A and B are shown apart, each in its own frame.
Chain A
């Protein structure tokens, strides 16, 4: 249905895509994968009319196409769910779903029709959200759902999903799978860009691997296994995905003591401690309060009551939970949305990382940038860039993520709070980030993280606190915990056969 012929795209002197050629059939789900910055989004953006190609051509049913703007692409029957959310906060769900192709009646926008169709589109994803809600009032996961609903509600032949599941939880991913199957059955072509290997194997018929802008392989997923796919992507076999946990029980001194922290008036209180040298995970279903806890600790969201103290040596200092204070006290926070809350996209890598080193200086002091530290950090983290002066906005998602974590690693903090540390990051980079975090912990740092990818929590954390309805319902040993057990605790607050000794 679609075929790429020697497609090339440059950004400045950088080749984001060079001579990419492959074909895709109607009635199939075609996975697109590869490392961060491999060019997946760029290729899809060409199809979506966001960029235009510098060379080669794209053919739709044999005829060359060159959409110059998203509207052109929509007219050609291509519907795109972009990697970045494109919902408008001041429009309702219904309005967002039909923006750009509003149903009209007697010269006016037909709101009734819009609502009906919007409800139907959401229903296909098993969602019952009120279609008159403004999208700005939705959680990220709901926004992602609406985004998908928007993409599939169009009458298109080709659907592009660019990392649609980055913010979704298991049950929603399940629904998405059903949806993909129904699209496939209706004879549509679906592009599915993802770093989640199991989704690729479960949902997709074909997989194309890109590397550094070049086409590596297009193959049926059937005859492929995980390791093969990973080595196609990374160019080598990852011997160890998650770093080794330190042997023995985590017994470092306490780094952060959380005492009866209360997020909402009248809500439950949580207490726990974070030790030096450990990686502690908060696990639970979406919206159960993990995010509020970690945000409150980072000073980003006010807490109603409770005390948090930071221990240094034998001294304990009670913290005033504002961002400026927590950073001064040596606590760094890595947000889940790196573009909005994390990075300075128009500034260079050096500046993005260097700014973290200034955290203890007064604003009147002279600033020093430790270029040597930054250079070695970049080398260690394998940040792919043309130079340290490249603007962060030009990096691929995974590399941006590394820069954001790198800022804190270079700043000399000793407690790191992470939200979704590897969102949208490729397997290779993931392994690298895990290693960095473990290294940070081994050198006396303490890590507290939340992640919607349960396997990541299980694989990386030394201890896991399961959160349900704003409360910590269980504490588990990371190496001993199983996916089943955590899920059950997260859903019911109760372990299956065990006594509630942990709660």
Chain B
């Protein structure tokens, strides 16, 4: 019996064609990045200096981390809008000054907080079958409401020195924050590709009911996914807070929606059960680069918003057309 999945009958031509169609089906974020880079080359070549590119990559790190978590959620047909809330919570824990602990302990508490939020989201979504959009929206309302209410009692303090260092330090010209992003990204990508967990995510995304009927530990997988998403948000918050240096209640406010855009532009779609980690990463870079490009063009806020909207809309539409054909 020949195994035709690995049989050597595929010709070079077939392989080339396969490679061609693989390129054609790449998420639109790749093409959009290229287009933006070319646009920058003609309009603002200074943006293309390695220094600045690395810096933009570092600016993209919080969004990139959040997008990984968001992409996991979307792959199991869920969604996480509580990312913004988690970051506000983390900010409050680290800088609110209400908890009399040392910085490392506070960071551990922040991580525990992330796990708790993930568990809460997952409980409502898996056990009570509530809509993930609404659940995570409600959780955000609760966290920000409580954090803002408490923060009125006392002004936020400084960020932990460790985080400030991390977000400032560079090794050579490479920002440490970027290295941390990569250090999280690569193992996660490998793990998702190789593990049972990754397969189960694909299956649940493709048909949650069938996943349940065929005995896939649905609740456990979705719970882990939401906990992971919240943890990514915590780490994203660590970077942001280190970057800002002082607590603030409006950190990461647009991260939830931007991460959603990054995930979709990065080629992860609801309901196909498929999608990598690289796509959202490139999309996070693309969005951050577009933000910088628009800024350096000296456009006013209105024009910037309009172009930003166009980029997201056109990129998403172009990617769908390309996928259909």
Which A residues have a C-beta under 8 Å from some C-beta of B? Answer: 298-300, 323-324, 326-328, 332-333, 335, 340-347, 350-351, 354-356, 358-359, 361-367, 371-372, 374-376, 379, 387-389, 407
Contact = CB atoms under 8 A, between A and B. Distances in A.
Nearest to B200: A363
Residue with the highest number of chain A CB atoms closer than 10 Å, among B3, B5, B195, B216: B5
A361 B200 CA distance: 11
A375 B2 CA distance: 8
Interface string B119-157: 000000000000000000000000000000000000000
A387 B273 CA distance: 20
A351 B273 CA distance: 11
Nearest to B6: A371
B5 A355 contact: no
A323 B271 CA distance: 23
Interface in B188-238: 194-200, 202-203, 206-207, 209-217, 220-221, 224
Given A363-B217, A364-B195, A375 B1 contact: yes
A379 B1 contact: yes
Nearest to A365: B196
B273 A361 contact: no
B272 interface: yes
B274 interface: yes
Given A344-B210, A346-B272, A350-B5, A362 B196 contact: yes
B273 A346 contact: yes
Interface of B: 1-6, 194-200, 202-203, 206-207, 209-217, 220-221, 224, 271-274
26 contacts: A299-B215, A324-B216, A327-B215, A335-B213, A341-B210, A342-B214, A343-B207, A345-B207, A346-B207, A346-B273, A346-B274, A347-B206, A355-B203, A355-B214, A358-B196, A359-B215, A363-B197, A363-B217, A364-B195, A367-B196, A375-B1, A375-B4, A375-B5, A379-B1, A388-B4, A389-B5
A27 B272 CA distance: 45
Contacts of B5: 350, 371, 374-375, 387-389
B213 A367 contact: no
Contacts of A364: 195-197
A365 B213 CA distance: 21
A326 B200 CA distance: 18
A387 B4 contact: yes
Given A346-B206, A347-B273, A371-B3, A363 B195 contact: yes
A474 to B, nearest CB: 30
Contacts of A344: 202-203, 206-207, 210-211, 273
Nearest to A371: B5
Contact of B221 (A354, A356, A363): A363
A343 B199 contact: no
Nearest to A355: B203
B227 to A, nearest CB: 13
A376 B215 contact: no
Given A367-B194, A372-B3, A375-B1, A346 B271 contact: yes
A16 B155 CA distance: 69
Contact of B210 (A343, A358, A362, A365): A343
Given A346-B271, A363-B224, 13 more contacts: A299-B215, A340-B209, A344-B206, A346-B206, A346-B207, A347-B203, A356-B214, A362-B196, A363-B221, A367-B198, A387-B4, A388-B5, A407-B214
Contacts of A328: 215
Contacts of A355: 199-200, 203, 214, 216
Contacts of A327: 214-215
Nearest to A359: B215
A315 B96 CA distance: 59
B209 A341 contact: yes
The 3 nearest A-B residue pairs measured at CB: A327-B215, A344-B206, A375-B3
A211 to B, nearest CB: 23
Residue with the highest number of chain A CB atoms closer than 10 Å, among B1, B6, B213, B221: B213
A354 B220 CA distance: 20
